[in-house]
A and B are shown apart, each in its own frame.
Chain A
Amino acid sequence: MATTPDVTVAGLVRLCRADEIGEGRSRGFDPHETGEDTIFVLRSGGVLRGWRNACPHVDGAPMAWRRDAYLNADGTRIVCHAHGAEFLPDSGTCVQGPCIGKRLTAVPIVIDRCGDLWVMEK
């Protein structure tokens, strides 16, 4: 389940190359080596965004149904595959399901000049 980071520098953890996550795709990461993916990154409208892998409906509930599977089939909604909550990929706002109006927790990510994707270590 975990995707172990391969480099840690200056309070940042490298996740992957940014171009490894295509449009309408998502990928989970375990930057703090907990044994489970604690964040995920998705690309929507050309923009990469990071979110905590924690549905607001059940505190901390993991959201994917399979490794890296955080989106619906056409990549237009983030889905919590526990009870079907659907979130807008740009704002993280729940628009369908048990936690309507609540939001996912954003995770700041950085893309460096070489095209590598990083997350703050904490």
Chain B
Amino acid sequence: MKIVGLDSLIFGVDDVPGAARFLVDYGLTPVDVSEAGGRFEAMDGTSLIITRDDDPRLPPPPAPGCRLRKTMMGVADSAALQAVAAELRRDREVRALPDGSIESVDDSNFVIGFRVTVRRPFVLPGEMFNAPGGVVFRPVNSLGVPPPGTAIRPRSLSHVVYFVPDVLKAEAFYVNRLGFRCTDRFTATGPFLQPAGSLDHHTHFLIGAPPQMHGVEHFTFHFGGPSEMIANGCRFVEKGYQAFWGPGRHILGSNWFWYFNSPFACHIEMDADMDLHDASWTPREATLSADTSQTFLLKMRKKWTPGPGIHENGDYA
């Protein structure tokens, strides 16, 4: 059952133009977008899809107030798609849709879809470093800081984080029915889950939460490295968007993070440089706290430089 990761997240929103502008400013590429909504792609074709929240074609949300209507996962091939369908049909309805995908529901009431992945292979170097004693270096005369105005685009849909009312039941569904593996766990909070066809530390993170929080904590796309992620986050803040947490670097998964409020009734993250694990990895467990969730947390300030006459929020003026 080779699920390779998230292909698309589908949200219903009350302000399509505002949400569309938000996603373009985040860095996604609009494709087939109108006032009714559309698709916003990362470099590999994974995407966020938005439409009006009263569109009757949308599946129902898992709980009132949740704007996520469907999580579409990609599988390796048609055999994997048939295997997922056969497994789910053992105890629930599985609908075959005209586009070749299948649709069902998980044990936490989230609508889930599966299709042969749309991910397009591409080759583009990630951020490289000149570390003394290193083996791989940024080439001589290539610059670490790209020219101002260089486009920064998310590369791939990374992960989604669900608030679920019964975290043990939710984990059992993804592990026992869909072949996910727990890579790490926050005790009494929930597991990081990796599907069989991905090496990413997680594509799903489940958080046990009271019923009124049932929904989504955040979702995110991968960027090409910490410099890209932080530069893109700074541009985002300068455009008036509200940062919530970060920039910083997580411990479990190691990914750089920066979280923002969003028009999707959840946070959106920018991430970079997540750990990769295979079946030989032994899951860790930690109690969630400020010290266990990040190795460091930075605090943004406006651009500033020391010098005479420059004192706006300056520490040394």
Contact = CB atoms under 8 A, between A and B. Distances in A.
Contact of A84 (B15, B65, B260, B313): B65
Contacts of A44: none
A100 B214 CA distance: 13
A111 interface: no
B213 A73 contact: no
B261 A82 contact: yes
Interface size, A (range) = 20 to 34
Interface string B235-247: 0010011101000
A95 to B, nearest CB: 10
Interface in A46-83: 61-67, 69, 72-74, 79-83
Interface string B197-225: 00000000000011011010100000000
B67 interface: yes
B266 interface: yes
Interface in B253-273: 260-263, 265-267
B18 interface: yes
A82 B267 contact: yes
A75 to B, nearest CB: 11
A97 interface: yes
A86 interface: yes
Contact of B215 (A67, A79, A83): A83
A35 interface: yes
Interface in A17-32: none
A62 B242 contact: yes
Nearest to A79: B265
B301 interface: yes
The 9 A-B residue pairs whose C-beta atoms are closest, nearest first, are A84-B265, A67-B240, A73-B14, A81-B261, A73-B15, A65-B261, A98-B213, A96-B65, A84-B65
Interface of A: 1, 35, 61-67, 69, 72-74, 79-84, 86, 96-98, 100
Interface of B: 14-15, 18, 22, 64-67, 209-210, 212-213, 215, 217, 237, 240-242, 244, 260-263, 265-267, 301-302, 313
